[in-house]
């Protein structure tokens, strides 16, 4: 089969690999029909995640058709069209039993601090991902679900991570009616977080980024106010002034490890890898939220330490809530929202690339060229 | 002047929000929020109490913070070579130790060197033009689209280029120095 493979920071190529075998009785092998490049794939692409091995196939957002199933699989059969959450989860450990599927304890021997994620390095379990023609899907009776007949494939692929993560980020903010919400980051997750904040009753939603075309998208897609932080003297001061010096009720960090806006932080984290991630946006969240407010963090960071302003967080009595999104748990409600037209996830898709051109897809996404928000990858070259 | 107990009026009235924002407030009720409360017991699809153990075809590295190799694990890219030895050593430290992560990062860099050499010997050398996707810059004038956006990253993109070039410049420098030393040795003989 053909699969995208990592060749070092900033380099990927398509190689021939064997079709993955069934390794466990509850495995399925899925023929991928559509995958996506996620903003968090860029942290891998830039070599920021430890134990990222050359030859690794990325891709934790994908949908496809079941090709083969293991002997104990009961809920799926070959030919089923399935969407697969980015979390690999057993369904029976302490954490899965409590609905914390992203924290599953039975799928990642390499680390106890993170669960299993498709195509996200050996730190996340060493599973090849879905930017390929085929992918191994463990615990096929727990994670994947059949794509409803009425659901568009591109909506389905965005429901495997980006859309649920943004929706989850708004929930972590514990938004109450009339709250002022500031979302840092106008990438796919930030856009969905902004949109979801309205669903939860926000009174004002402000999106902060440094790229004008993304902010324009935020205004159009998420009905948000926007501010380009390079166009104000000090984004924290701006946040205070726009809230009558109270601060926002909720700040959502939807940027993660490669946040820009403070050169030293960006250099030490994104370029020199001396931090787990650049905490620029996280620190702005801490500074911009009001005392006693909530900071929701859904941006992905590496496992090393980061220079976070924890003293301010403590002194302000903040509630900081975080997690990788337990996708499976969001689906029933999000399916309703998609079916009712409240959400149309595929509206953020800007690029569609065949697998053979994936290196160019990564370059465009990484450099934010050509108005790129969300690129999809088609292994069979067609869309 | 003093701050008062009332929250400043910062938002439009609810009626206006409901009228102008599609879906406003449909999840206002916490009962509609799937991740509230944080921990919730629900049907997971698992039809086992304890999952079966996946066979281990080679000694699988694991975190010291796990009692055993988990019932299911990834089998992609097993440890190999010098990078594999570094990584295996890294896994003798807990995730709480900086040494664990720094050794893994070093292993990653060594892996790249090993893989480049291996690719070369297999006749599938790495191609910096196609693998970086840089040709996308010239399609649909993509190069130009980074300008006029007030982007913060434009200021340090030359640094990216420099960091990318450092290994190649160093390699070229080493080759040049080697080439300079050989004629000198021959002359001494």
Say yes or no: A132 and A77 in one domain.
yes
Q: Which residues in chain B have Cβ-Cβ distances shorter than 8 Å to A245?
A: 3
- Total structural domains within chain B: 1
pLDDT at B186 > cutoff 70: no
In a domain, B183, yes or no: no
In sequence order, what are the residues at sequence separation of 6 or more whose Cβ sits closer than 8 angstroms to the Cβ of residue B51? A26, A90, A92, A106, A139, B71, B72
Q: Which residue has the higher pLDDT, B36 or A262?
A: B36
In a domain, B48, yes or no: no
Say yes or no: A189 and A126 in one domain.
no
Say yes or no: A283 and A353 in one domain.
no
Say yes or no: A337 and A237 in one domain.
no
The whole-angstrom separation of Cα A258 and Cα A142 is 32
In a domain, B116, yes or no: yes
Shortest distance, CA B167 to any CA of chain A (angstroms): 12
Range of the domain at B82: 60-68+77-126
Average pLDDT over residues B59-63: 97
Say yes or no: A100 and A136 in one domain.
yes
The whole-angstrom separation of Cα A273 and Cα B149 is 27
In a domain, B166, yes or no: no
In a domain, B86, yes or no: yes
Range of the domain at A283: 162-322
Report residue B164's pLDDT band, with 50, 70 and 90 as the boundaries: confident
- Looking at residue A153, its pLDDT comes to 97
CB contact under 8 A, A90 and B150: no
Shortest distance, CA A24 to any CA of chain B (angstroms): 5
CB contact under 8 A, A370 and B145: yes
The whole-angstrom separation of Cα A117 and Cα A292 is 33
Q: Which residues in chain A have Cβ-Cβ distances shorter than 8 Å to B146?
A: 367-369
pLDDT at B18 > cutoff 90: yes
Say yes or no: A89 and A22 in one domain.
yes
Say yes or no: A307 and A191 in one domain.
yes
For A338, the token pair is 């998609």
Q: Minimal Cα distance from B24: which residue of A? A: A199
Question: Among residues A322, A348, A364, which one ends one of the domains?
Answer: A322
Question: Among residues A322, A337, A355, which one ends one of the domains?
Answer: A322
With a cut of 50, which residues of chain A have pLDDT below it? none
Report yes or no: A169 at the B interface, CB cutoff 8 Å.
Answer: no
ipTM (interface pTM): 0.94
Report residue B184's pLDDT band, with 50, 70 and 90 as the boundaries: low
Weakest-pLDDT range from A368-372, B36-40, B104-108, B152-156: B152-156
Exposed / middle / buried, residue B78 (Cβ in 10 Å: 0-12, 13-18, 19+): middle
Report yes or no: A213 at the B interface, CB cutoff 8 Å.
Answer: yes
In a domain, A383, yes or no: no
Q: Which of A45, A109, A116, A331 to mutate to test the interface with B (most CBs of B within 10 A)?
A: A109
Model pLDDT for residues A213-240, shown as the tens digit of each residue: 999 999 999 999 999 999 999 999 999 9
Model pLDDT for residues A124-138, shown as the tens digit of each residue: 999 999 999 999 999
CB contact under 8 A, A122 and B77: yes
What secondary structure letter does DSSP report for A254?
A: -
Report yes or no: B81 at the A interface, CB cutoff 8 Å.
Answer: no
- Total structural domains within chain A: 2
Report residue B156's pLDDT band, with 50, 70 and 90 as the boundaries: confident
Chains A, B: CB contacts under 8 A, how many? 296
Q: What is the pTM of this model?
A: 0.95
In a domain, A345, yes or no: yes
In a domain, A286, yes or no: yes
Question: Among residues A284, A303, A322, which one ends one of the domains?
Answer: A322
- CATH number, domain of A221, equals 3.40.50.720
Q: Is A183 helix (H, G, I), strand (E, B) or coil?
A: strand
């Amino acid at each position: 089969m053909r699969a995208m493979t990592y060749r070092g920071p900033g380099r990927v190529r398509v190689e021939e690999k064997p079709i993955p075998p069934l390794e466990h009785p509850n495995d399925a092998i899925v023929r991928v029909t559509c995958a996506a490049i996620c903003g968090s794939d860029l942290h891998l692409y830039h070599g920021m995640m430890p134990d990222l091995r050359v030859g690794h196939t990325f891709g934790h957002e994908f949908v496809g058709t079941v090709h083969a199933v293991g002997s104990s699989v009961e809920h799926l059969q070959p030919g089923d069209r399935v969407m697969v959450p980015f979390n690999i989860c057993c369904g029976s450990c302490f954490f899965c039993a409590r609905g914390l599927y992203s924290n599953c304890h039975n799928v990642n021997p390499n680390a106890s601090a993170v669960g299993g994620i498709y195509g996200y390095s050996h730190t996340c379990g060493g599973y090849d991902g879905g930017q390929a023609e085929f992918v191994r899907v463990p615990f096929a009776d727990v994670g994947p679900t059949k794509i409803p007949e009425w659901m568009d494939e591109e909506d389905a692929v965005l429901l495997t991570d980006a859309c649920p993560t943004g929706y989850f980020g708004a929930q972590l903010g514990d938004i109450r009616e009339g709250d002022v919400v500031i979302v840092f980051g106008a990438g796919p997750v930030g856009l969905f977080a902004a949109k979801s904040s309205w669903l939860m009753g926000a009174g004002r939603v402000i999106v902060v980024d440094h790229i004008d075309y993304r902010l324009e998208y935020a205004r159009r897609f998420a009905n948000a106010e926007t501010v380009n932080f390079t166009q104000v003297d000090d984004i924290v001061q701006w946040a205070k002034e726009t809230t009558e010096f109270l601060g926002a009720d909720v700040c959502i960090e939807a940027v993660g490890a490669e946040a820009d806006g403070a050169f030293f932080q960006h250099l030490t984290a994104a370029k020199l890898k001396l931090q787990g991630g650049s905490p620029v946006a996280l620190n702005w969240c801490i500074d911009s939220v009001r005392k006693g407010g909530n900071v929701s963090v859904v941006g992905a960071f590496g496992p090393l330490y980061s220079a976070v302003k924890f003293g301010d967080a403590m002194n302000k009595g903040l509630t900081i809530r975080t997690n990788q999104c337990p996708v499976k748990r969001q689906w029933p409600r999000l399916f309703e929202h998609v079916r009712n037209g409240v959400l149309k996830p595929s509206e953020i898709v800007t690029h569609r690339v065949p697998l053979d051109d994936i290196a160019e897809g990564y370059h465009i996404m990484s450099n934010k060229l050509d108005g790129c928000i969300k690129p999809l990858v088609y292994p069979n070259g067609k869309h | 002047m003093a701050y008062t107990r009332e929250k400043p009026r910062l938002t439009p009235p609810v009626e206006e929000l409901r009228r102008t924002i599609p879906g406003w407030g449909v999840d206002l009720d916490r009962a509609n929020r799937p991740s509230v409360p944080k921990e919730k017991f629900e049907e997971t699809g698992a039809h086992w109490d304890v999952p079966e153990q996946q066979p281990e075809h080679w000694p699988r590295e694991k975190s010291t913070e796990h009692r055993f190799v988990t019932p299911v694990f990834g089998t992609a890219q097993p440890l190999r070579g010098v990078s594999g030895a570094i990584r295996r050593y890294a896994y003798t430290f807990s995730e709480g130790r900086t040494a664990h992560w720094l050794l893994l990062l070093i292993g990653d860099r060594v892996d790249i060197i090993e893989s480049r050499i291996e690719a070369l010997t297999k006749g599938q050398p790495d191609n910096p033009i196609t693998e970086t996707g840089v040709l996308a810059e010239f399609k649909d004038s993509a190069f130009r689209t980074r300008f006029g956006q007030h982007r913060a990253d434009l200021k340090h993109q030359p640094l990216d280029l420099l960091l990318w070039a450092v290994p190649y410049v160093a390699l070229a420098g080493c080759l040049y120095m080697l080439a300079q030393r050989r004629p000198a040795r021959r002359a001494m003989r």
